[in-house]
Structure 1
C-alpha cells in the first residue's frame, strides 16, 4: 500500500493535530503492510517521512512565534491545488490521507482525518477566514472520503450531528503517549527545574496560548486562592503564543504577585517530560478539545489532574482527574484548592494515572488505522 499524506498542517513546533499527524507518520513507515509514504507540504516535490521530520526538527529549534494552523487559509488555494495535482499525478495507485479538510485534488481514494470541530462549534476562537475555509471545504471533504478517522467519541458525534456522516464510516484512532512521559525521581528532574528557576512545588498547565485554552480564566481563578497556597504552589504556564493571545499576554504581564505565576513560553521538547514529572499537579481547563493529548502526558507522569467537564475531556476521566466547569470561576477556584489539599485523591491519582496512560500507544493506534486503510486500498485497486 502506498500513502500520500498531506502534511501542510505540520508547522513548527507541532501541536494538537500536527503533533498527532507527526507521531502517526513515524509509526506508519514502520508498519509492514505500508510500502511508500510520501508527504505533501506545499513544496515543489513530495517528501519522505524522514525529510519531513528533519525539516520540522530544524525549524523547531528556535520557534520565537507559533505558526498556527489558521495560516492555511492565507495560502493561494488554486496554485497549491495545481501543484498538488502535478506532483501526485504519477501516484494514481496511492491512497491519500487528508488531516485538515483541505481536500486537495486527487483522482484516487481519499481518507479524512478530523481532530476537532472547533472552527465550526466555536468560531469566536478563530480567524473568520479560517472558519469560512473549514465550513466551505469540510462537507466536500467528508462526502468525498472513503472513510473518516477521528480521535474521540465526542468528535465522532460532532461529525455525525454536523454533517450526517454515517457512524460506521468513522473510526476512532486515539492518540498515544511517548514513553518519555513517566514518573521520575526528584534527582532526575532537578536539572530541568533549576534551568527554569522553578520552586520544588508548582501547578503545571501546558497548552498553546489561545482563547479556547481558557488560561485567562485559569489565572483569574488561581488568583482567588488563599495567599499561602499561591505562595507554596505557584502556577507555571508552558506554551507558545497562538492566535488571539493579546489579552492573555496582557494578563500574564500584569500579574502583580512575584513568585506566583511563571510563564515559560515554548520549552525544549526534551525538557517537557521532566517539567511534567516535577509538578505537584496538572491543570488543563480548556473550553473545547477534540481529545486533549496533554492529559495523557500528565497521567503517564503520575500527576493529579484538574480538567474541564466539557467537550472530549471527560472521556479521559478516571481516578486521576477532577473535573470542573471551566467558565465558572468559583467552581474553578474551589477545585484548584481541592487539587492541592486532597491528599487521598492525589495519592489515588498518582497510582492510577500511569496505568490508564499505558493503554494508549502510537503503535496500537497506527496499526488500527492501517487495517482500515488496507481495506480501502483493496477495494479501490
Structure 2
C-alpha cells in the first residue's frame, strides 16, 4: 500500500480558514480513499487535542507527532528528519510551509498571494517576509503540482511566482457547518450576545486584509444616513499581529450597534448565520472566501467587496461594493434592506449556488491530483 503524507500542523480553528481546510480535506480523504495509507504529521505543541484525536479512529491513517512550528529552524531541520524517516510516496503541504531541503515528491496548496499584495505588520518584519518569499517560491518551483482554491488565486500565483498555468489545479473548498439549526439555538445565541435587532454578519479573523474598519464605517454611515435600527456582528478572534483593528472599528458614532463575539464554535456560528439578515465582507484580498460560502448555505444574501474572487465564487448571490468607500458600502446595504424583492432573489440565488461547494468533492478532486502523480 502506497503512502500519502499530509502536513496537518495547521489543523484546527486557531489557524482560521486554513485550519478548516486541513481538517475537512484530511477527514474526507480518509473517508473516500482506502487504497492508500495516510501519514498525518501534526504539531503536538500547537494543536487542539480533540481535532487530533478525531483522526485516530481511521484505520488508514497514522498520526506522527512533531514539534516543528511554521517559519522555524525546526521546520527546516527536525521536521525534515521526520519526513525522511517516514518517506511518504507523496507528500501534501496544505500550506506552502515546507523544509527547503526536502527531496521527496510533493503537492502544495497555495491559498492566496495576500502577503505579496497587501503590506502589514506580518510583512513589515523584513527577515520574516524574506523567509516567506523563499519558501513559497521553492514550494511552487519544486512541487509536482500546485492546488489553489480559485481561478483568481491561480492568476495571482502565475503572475507573482512565474508558474506555468498547467501546473496549477483549481479545487474549490466546501462547507461543513450543521445546517439544521433549531430556532431555540438561534434564540439562545441572540440572548448570549444581546442581539435584539436585525443584524448583518461578518465572519473572519480580525486582520488587516479583512478591512473591518472600513466595513464598520460603512455600517455607521448606513445607520446615520438611512436611520435603520440594526446591528453588525463581527464573529472572529483578533489576530495578535493586529490588536488595534477592533479599537479603530469601534471609533464610530453607532459603536453600541457593533457586536464583537470573539471566537465562536461551529454550533454557535451556524446559529449566528441562521439568525442573520445578511452576510457582509469588505475584505481587500481573499483566496476563496469560505465564510460567504457558508452564509450561502443558509440562504443569506451577501454584500461584499467588488473583487475578482468574490465575483467568481459568489456570482449572483451577492451585491458588490467598493470596499474603500464607506458611502458605497452604506448605499449597497441600504438597497438590501429597502428592496425586499431584490433581497428575496439574492437569498434564492445564495441557496442554489451554495449547493455546489462540498468538501467531499474537494477531496475527490485532490485525490485525483495525487493519483496522477503516483502513477
Structure 2 CA distance for aligned equivalents of residues 93 and 237 of structure 1: 41
Task: Tell me, yes or no, if structure 1 residue 20 matches structure 2 residue 21.
Answer: yes
Structure 2 CA distance for aligned equivalents of residues 33 and 201 of structure 1: 47
Number of residues of Structure 1 aligned to a counterpart in Structure 2: 356
Q: What aligned pairs does 1:1-381 form with structure 2 within 5 A after superposition?
A: 1-10=2-11, 12-43=13-44, 51=52, 53=54, 72-73=70-71, 75=72, 77=73, 79-104=74-99, 105-124=101-120, 126-129=122-125, 130-178=128-176, 180-181=178-179, 186-187=183-184, 189-227=186-224, 232-255=229-252, 257=254, 259-378=256-375
Q: Is the 8 A contact 2:200 2:276 kept in 1?
A: yes
Q: Give the TM-score normalised by structure 2.
A: 0.87
Question: Could you tell me how far 1:10 is from its partner in structure 2?
Answer: 2.8
Structure 2 CA distance for aligned equivalents of residues 181 and 316 of structure 1: 20
- Counterpart of 2:65 in structure 1 is none
Question: Could you tell me how far 1:15 is from its partner in structure 2?
Answer: 1.2
Q: Give the TM-score normalised by structure 1.
A: 0.86
Q: Which runs of 5+ in 2 are unaligned?
A: 57-68
Question: Could you tell me how far 1:136 is from its partner in structure 2?
Answer: 1.4
After superposing the two structures, state which structure 1 stretch, 33-42 or 230-239, moved more. 33-42
Structure 2 CA distance for aligned equivalents of residues 271 and 277 of structure 1: 10
Q: CA RMSD in A?
A: 2.5
Structure 1 CA distance for aligned equivalents of residues 329 and 252 of structure 2: 18
Structure 2 CA distance for aligned equivalents of residues 109 and 52 of structure 1: 28
3-state SS of 2:343 partner: helix
3-state SS of 2:328 partner: helix
**1:198-235 CA distance string (max 9 Å, x none):** 12411111111111101100111111124486652111
Q: Say if 1:230 and 1:100 are closer, same or farther in 2 by CA, change over 3 A.
A: farther
Q: Which runs of 5+ in 1 are unaligned?
A: 56-70
Structure 2 CA distance for aligned equivalents of residues 49 and 264 of structure 1: 23
Q: Say if 1:314 and 1:34 are closer, same or farther in 2 by CA, change over 3 A.
A: farther
3-state SS of 1:331 partner: helix
Structure 2 CA distance for aligned equivalents of residues 358 and 366 of structure 1: 16
Structure 1 CA distance for aligned equivalents of residues 179 and 29 of structure 2: 22
